[in-house]
Amino acid sequence: MTAPRRIAVVGAGAAGLHTAEALRRAGYDGRLTLVGDEEEPPYDRPPLSKHLLSGQWQPDRLTLRDPRALDELRLDLRLGVRARRLDRRARTVHLADGREVPCDAVVIATGVRPRRLPGAGTPGDGTPPAGAHVLRTLADALALRADLCEGPRAGGRLLVVGGGLLGAEAAATAVGIGAEVTWLVSTDTPLAAVLGTETAALLTGLHRGHGVRIHRGTATGLLSRGGRATGVRLADGTDLAADTVLTAIGSEPATEWLADSGLGLDGGVVCDARCAAGPGVWAAGDAACWPDPRTGRHRRLEQRTNATEQALHVARNLLAGPDGTTEVYTPVPYLWTDQYGLRVQAFGSPGAADRFEPVDGSPEEHRFAAACVRDGRVVGAVGIASARALRGLRAQVAAHAPWPPEPA
Amino acid sequence: MLVHIDQDKCCGAGHCVVAAPEVFDQRDEDGIVLLLDARPPADLHQAVQDAAAVCPAAAIRLDLA
């Protein structure tokens, strides 16, 4: 196969943008189409639940590249249009506006969309009631902020459904701008599965200390009356009332458009270890699912840093061609979360550990770096306000190094 | 090459420090990027470009003039 002359990158979030940028940076000068279903040029999502929801930042601060930098990429930029279908035989991406994008190679970077509760409507299938929110796009965040700060529900009761990082950040931000917040979670220590028990307990205590009411239960459906959300029903049959409901119960890969493509779609776009989903088809970002070389199991990472790293990786492998030297993707997962003025940073999988070994500070001081150890190996690292010590643990996470460290 | 950093955008991943430790460091309290050398020598330019490319927050901007 000759080098590609027409590349389509589907999805104009961080993964799509970084793929396009890396292709140009590596010298690719053929046609480069970037398709995105949102109207906005590529923007950064992590601030949506933090600085944007709080009102500290205006939307333009989220822009990932200014217009000049975007121009320099010489993109065939198709914004505000969804990809509808991938025809691999004809090597064509079909767009919802009826247009077709012929391509020698395609990069799938369509990300995820939030799960909704029954009763909340789904995109293209019923309108959600007023006051019922999810938080994935800029439009989502602005709508939630408007409900919390303006109009009839301002300063009212916000119910955050879901004990993950997004729910935690939204609860922390919302209480900071004057909402009365209830956080509905399914476990005693939300975030333990992500950050480990020690860090999760610290954050749970901070939520309580700032006035967030933590309610244990499982939502089974959204309640509404007269087209307006009124709360949720719980599995135990009781109801929780609210003026505004944010559903943050995880996401699903946005891969419907690939249904008849013949690609493997099992918990994401199924890729090989190089992030190839098939000949001339690659995937990067939240939608990509690839075998972790350490475990052999396919995994998907909904993390901002992964979007960038996987995009750079895919661009490199794509340009290497079928006979070139391609590389296996072995990231060291990194995530951060900002809550109540603290920044928690983590490498690997702190939630998978059975031992918590501080190497600096302690959770009580709200300043620590700790190795997270399982079966005598470092599987993660987590810290607050101890960036250098934490970074020092990164190599041990990458290597799944033994703990305690072997004497040099 | 002139290096600009945006500390408000920085998410503290530290990828830049891994890529170009001569040019970038992190504040200990929150991991925010510190610029050690705004005009790095030519032999570091590739490393600095790598750092800018891998920054997940797009917090590093380069003037290549």
pLDDT in tens, A277-308: 999 999 999 999 999 887 889 999 999 999 99
The answer to whether B28 contacts A388, with C-beta atoms less than 8 Å apart, is yes
The answer to whether A312 contacts B53, with C-beta atoms less than 8 Å apart, is yes
Please report the beta strands in A123-249, taking only residues with DSSP state E, as ranges in sequence order: 132-133, 157-161, 180-185, 213-216, 219-225, 228-234, 239-241, 244-247
A304 vs B contacts (CB less than 8 Å):
11, 56-57
pLDDT of amino acid A126: 65
pLDDT in tens, A99-156: 999 999 999 999 999 999 988 765 445 678 999 999 999 999 999 999 999 887 788 8
Q: B27 to chain A nearest CA, in Å?
A: 7
What is the residue range of B10's domain?
2-63
> Residue A16 in 3-state DSSP?
helix
Tell me whether the CATH fold assigned to A6-113+252-320 matches the one assigned to A341-399: no
What is the value of ipTM here, to two decimals? 0.85
Domain boundaries, chain A: 6-113+252-320, 116-249, 341-399
**Contact status of A6 with chain B (Cβ, < 8 Å):** no
Q: Rounded distance, CA A360 to CA A108, Å? A: 41
pLDDT in tens, A388-404: 999 999 999 999 999 99
What homologous superfamily does CATH list for A116-249? FAD/NAD(P)-binding domain (3.50.50.60)
The answer to whether B55 contacts A336, with C-beta atoms less than 8 Å apart, is no
What are all long-range contacts of A202-207, with beta carbons under 8 Å and residues at least 24 apart? A202/A363, A202/A366, A202/A384, A203/A168, A203/A339, A203/A342, A203/A344, A206/A172, A206/A339, A206/A340, A206/A342, A207/A168, A207/A171, A207/A172, A207/A175, A207/A183, A207/A339, A207/A340
Residue B31's domain is classified under what CATH number? 3.30.70.20
Residue A407 has pLDDT above 80, yes or no: no
pLDDT of amino acid A322: 73
Q: Name the residue with tokens 């031992």.
A: A355
CB pairs under 8 A between A and B: 65
Instruction: Give the closest of A61, A309, A387 to B28, CB-based.
Output: A387
Element (H, E) at A143: helix A138-149
Q: Which two tokens stand for residue A186?
A: 């399914």
B30 vs A contacts (CB less than 8 Å):
343, 385, 387
Instruction: Give the closest of A14, A22, A391 to B26, CB-based.
Output: A391
Helix axes A304-320, B45-54, angle to 10 degrees: 120
**Contact status of B58 with chain A (Cβ, < 8 Å):** yes
pLDDT in tens, B11-62: 888 889 989 999 999 998 888 999 999 999 999 999 999 899 888 777 899 9
Q: What is the CATH number of domain A341-399?
A: 3.30.390.30
pLDDT in tens, A146-203: 999 988 778 889 999 999 999 999 999 999 999 999 999 999 999 999 999 999 999 9
Question: Which B residues 13-32 touch A at CB under 8 Å?
Answer: 13-15, 17-18, 26-31
Residue A62 has pLDDT above 90, yes or no: yes
Count of C-beta atoms within a 10 Å radius of residue A210: 14
Domain count, chain B: 1
What homologous superfamily does CATH list for A6-113+252-320? FAD/NAD(P)-binding domain (3.50.50.60)
Instruction: Give the closest of A305, A334, A386 to B28, CB-based.
Output: A386
